[in-house]
Chains A and B, each alone.
Chain A
Amino acid sequence: MDTADLLPLAVAVPLLGAAVVAVAGRWLPRPGRDALATACAAADVGCLALLWARTDPDGRAVSWLGGWRPRGGHGVGIVLVADRLGSGLALLAAVLVLAVLCYAWRYFDEPSGEHGGMFPGLLLLFQAGMCGFALTGDLFDAFVFFELMGAVAYALTGYRIEDPRPLQGALAFGLVNSAAAYLSLLGIGLLYARTGELGMAQIGAALDERAAAGHGRDALVVVAFVLVLAGPLVKAATAPFHFWLPDAHAVAPSPVCMLLSGVMVELGVYGVARIHRVVFAGAGGLPDAAVRDTLLAAGVLTALVGAVMCWQQRHLKRMLAFSTVGHVGLFLVGTALLTPAGLAGSAVYVAGHAGAKAALFGLTGVLLDRYGSVDEHGLHGRARELRLPGALFALGALALAGLPPFGTGLGKAVAEEAAGRELGWLPAVFVLVSALTGGAVLRAGLRVFGGVGSPPKEHPEVAATTGEGEEPEIRGPGRRLPAPMIAVPAALLAGCLAVGLAPGVGRALAAAAAAFTDRTGYLADTLGGTAPAATPAPDTDWTASGILLGLLSAALAAAFATAAVRRDPRRGTGALHRATVLPLRRLHSGLLGDYVAWLAVGLAALLVALVAQL
């Protein structure tokens, strides 16, 4: 089979699988359904692994669907383009879906009968959406798969229907994301009207042609840039578009959170990078400096907001959700540098983070299963009996803080170094954000699994989401903990470790990042033509400074955590806390109207910031 044929196959396999599972699930018993869905997910992993292996490190696999190749640079068809960053991200999504299916084997009290195939079927459709979004080279096609990913994720978020909160979270998630997607569609419409093309490479080439003919960048291009990026930026939970994420993650079932935080949010950053690079990075697009500065500012803001809010949470899933916001901010910073090194750092970071974060959500699922609560304060010391999950939880927290040799540590080190070359103070943001998020999770782990310190006093003046009174996600108390619920998080953490330890992974992602930033090469491979040799791959080996900064942030995280659990519970909060943190907490109002207002405010700010720099 041709390498190019693997691209559509990677989308078709889960789509077909979803249909088969939905039909067979009506009659098959639970193990049969799970086996069928797991087999489909495994087949997709195999397909994408083959695609990854067969793509050149600095090349691309190109598939013109339906055989509609362009003639003379113009065509009518859709193209799928896989460089190793795209296929790698699709592979990561496939691996996580497989992990989630295994994790959920005996986890859920899934409905059976006519509803039997629904949950695994939706997971497979989710995989198809993520895979299509990662592999497509067509702007409208990207929108379609973005919507598929969204529609399925909204439903999965609201899975627990007995409780009104999941439906509210899913509603906020759905409305904010759909509103942003329609803005993206508006932007795509503007670009289509201008160029008569829908393919990313074709639009980019057409804009460059116009620029060469003297019709350079105008208001339409700038407005289209902001509108098209609205969808992926909201998906990437960039501040101030991040409000939906904690609301959705706090209420979605744990296996779904593993996917949302582990890879879906990161796909938003990927979408921003891909669309900017192919469509807007040429002569007819926007100047690199303006885009870099704007996205860097957004990334730093997101990282800081996520980290500060993460430290404030006692609801474990909300805490992990805000830690995702913080880390996605860092990924955006690395990506916004627009250099191969920054992108390579983000790529390694994303791979490592997916393992660590999914493992932590999985372990939180264990707590929910045992105690029906995810409240840091209420669970104080109650989970002492869970030794192995406790140890894994602490390891996950340290991985989140960037402790070498975890993959998160390597990614952080590479991105940090690239960022430091751009702006000297950016590494401090990386260290602070990973220390705060890792520290918050470590603090919760020490309290819940270790019973360290005295139980915290309640502060009734601060309205907080406690995380008590959650519906346990499974029925049948008193049964033994299903083995996959420990084995899968352990395997995911091992994967995070492998990203940092196996030198091949980092180097492959570095070459992939160099190929990703090679716009001329992308246009030449897609539309025909020759391109100059690609830029050399950046260095992604461990460096002494990287290891030291990683150790520093892990040590800081440990210090924060121990200081917090040792703190006298009777002490009040400081003036600085009241002046900065409380207003920030109040902004997270949980009101849908506020979130939509922030969407408008953020987009207007983005537009003004870009125009001011032109």
Chain B
Amino acid sequence: MSRTTRLRLFLTAAAVLAAAVLAAALIVAAEQLPGFGGARHPYGERAVAAGLARQSANIVSAVNFDQRGFDTLGEESILFGSVLGAGMLLRLARDEHKRRPAAEPVLPTTRLFGATLLPLTLLTGGYLVAHGQLSPGGGFQGGVVLTTALHLAYVAADYRVLKRIRPLAVLDVTDAIAAGSYAALGLIGLAQGAGYLANTLPLGTFNALSSSGLVAVINAAVGVEVGSAVVVLLAHFLDQAVEVTPRRRNR
């Protein structure tokens, strides 16, 4: 047996043993967790009370964009950073070039399906973002649905159609502006002396579209950011898959 094989064998055995130890430990620890579906929800009770006090009908949004809004700022920055990073890593290398995507044959029924569903999905996404402070959904979810709507064009037609309805440069700039606006919106509270990301906007009436103050505004900013970011992110990857080919080396 060669040294490398012996080493590999040893490492495999050690990893299996370690995984067994960790799994056993996790099971023992999970035994100590509170039972499923219990009546005691220490954080949940406080979060609901705090959200209702700020006229937020959707408590999840109240937690995401108000009570723990700083976490969401970080998460949204991760998405922004991923878009920048993916754009940088997937830029056209010196030994690559772009080719035109070809038109592809599509069944008429598929095209009809896409043409019907695209506006419906756009509407759904818009609704989810707009009502994020009221009902389940919100900027993150709605933004992803909006992206899905655009990409129905790729599924039901071809890449050329998607490229036509996808204003990439505009979305790229929108993504950055929306990401920056979240950080900037936090400064309102700071300027008013209430603390960064403080919800100092008028709270409105409970369960109305304009309720919950800053939550609605940040929710909208996140919707725009996620919607444009995921389109741009997917565009980088789709470009690689569809358009970019390695340049043939002349030797």
Query: CB within 8 Å of B: which residues of A?
Result: 2, 4-5, 8-9, 12, 15-16, 18-20, 22-23, 26, 63-68, 74-78, 111, 114-115, 118-119, 121-122, 125, 128-129, 132, 140-141, 144-145, 147-148, 151-152, 154-156, 158-159, 161-162, 167, 186, 190, 192-198, 218-220, 222-224, 226, 583, 586-587, 594, 596-598, 600-601, 603-605, 607-608
Contacts and interface: CB of A to CB of B under 8 A. Distances in A.
Contact of A223 (B26, B85, B176): B26
A9 B196 contact: yes
B87 A118 contact: yes
B68 A78 contact: yes
User: Which secondary structure characterizes the binding site on chain B?
Assistant: helix
A78 B50 CA distance: 14
B69 A147 contact: no
A587 B7 contact: yes
Contact of A76 (B7, B26, B63): B63
Contacts of A197: 42-43
B46 A114 contact: no
Contact of A597 (B15, B29, B183): B15
B98 interface: no
B7 to A, nearest CB: 6
A12 B186 contact: yes
Given A155-B88, A162-B94, 17 more contacts: A15-B73, A18-B80, A63-B196, A65-B70, A78-B71, A114-B169, A118-B88, A147-B78, A197-B42, A220-B32, A583-B7, A586-B3, A586-B4, A586-B7, A594-B11, A597-B18, A607-B22
A219 B19 CA distance: 17
Nearest to B172: A114
Contacts, number: 228
A132 B74 contact: yes
Contact of A604 (B17, B82, B195): B17
A196 B38 CA distance: 13
Contact of A22 (B25, B84, B93): B84
B33 interface: yes
B70 A78 contact: yes
Interface in B22-53: 22, 25-26, 28-29, 31-34, 41-43, 46-47, 50
B179 interface: yes
Contacts of B88: 111, 115, 118-119, 122, 155, 159
Closest 4 CB pairs between A and B?
A155-B85, A19-B180, A196-B42, A8-B196
Interface in B186-208: 186-187, 189-190, 193-199
A607 B17 CA distance: 13
B195 A190 contact: no
B74 A601 contact: no
Nearest to B51: A76
Contacts of A223: 25-26, 28-29
6 contacts: A2-B193, A12-B196, A23-B177, A65-B70, A66-B195, A194-B33
Interface in B223-244: none
Given A8-B197, A597-B14, A607-B22, A66 B180 contact: no
Given A12-B196, A193-B33, A77 B74 contact: no
A122 B88 CA distance: 10
B73 to A, nearest CB: 7
Given A76-B43, A118-B88, A220-B32, A12 B187 contact: yes
B135 interface: no
A19 B19 contact: no
Interface in B116-164: none
B184 interface: yes
B32 A219 contact: yes
Contacts of B93: 161-162
Nearest to B94: A162
A26 B25 contact: no
Contacts of B33: 190, 193-194, 220
Contacts of B87: 114-115, 118
Contacts of A596: 15
B21 A604 contact: yes
Contacts of B190: 5, 8-9
Contact of A125 (B32, B80, B90, B184): B80
Interface size class of chain B, counting residues whose CB lies under 8 Å from the partner chain: 35 or more
B104 interface: no
A608 B21 contact: yes
A74 B46 contact: yes
Contacts of B198: 66-67
A154 B25 contact: no
B91 interface: yes
Which of B14, B42, B77, B169 gathers most chain A CB within 10 Å?
A: B77
Given A8-B190, A140-B71, A162-B95, A152 B85 contact: yes
A219 B196 contact: no
Contact of A66 (B7, B94, B169, B197): B197
Which of B33, B78, B86 gathers most chain A CB within 10 Å?
A: B78
A19 B22 contact: no
A192 B33 CA distance: 10
B100 to A, nearest CB: 19
Contacts of A129: 74, 77
A604 B11 contact: no
B89 interface: yes
Which of B33, B34, B88, B189 gathers most chain A CB within 10 Å?
A: B88
Contacts of A65: 69-70, 195-197
B189 A161 contact: no
A203 B18 CA distance: 28
Nearest to B19: A600
B196 A19 contact: no
A19 B11 contact: no
Given A19-B177, A148-B81, A219-B31, A68 B67 contact: yes
A15 B182 CA distance: 9
A64 B91 contact: no
A162 to B, nearest CB: 5
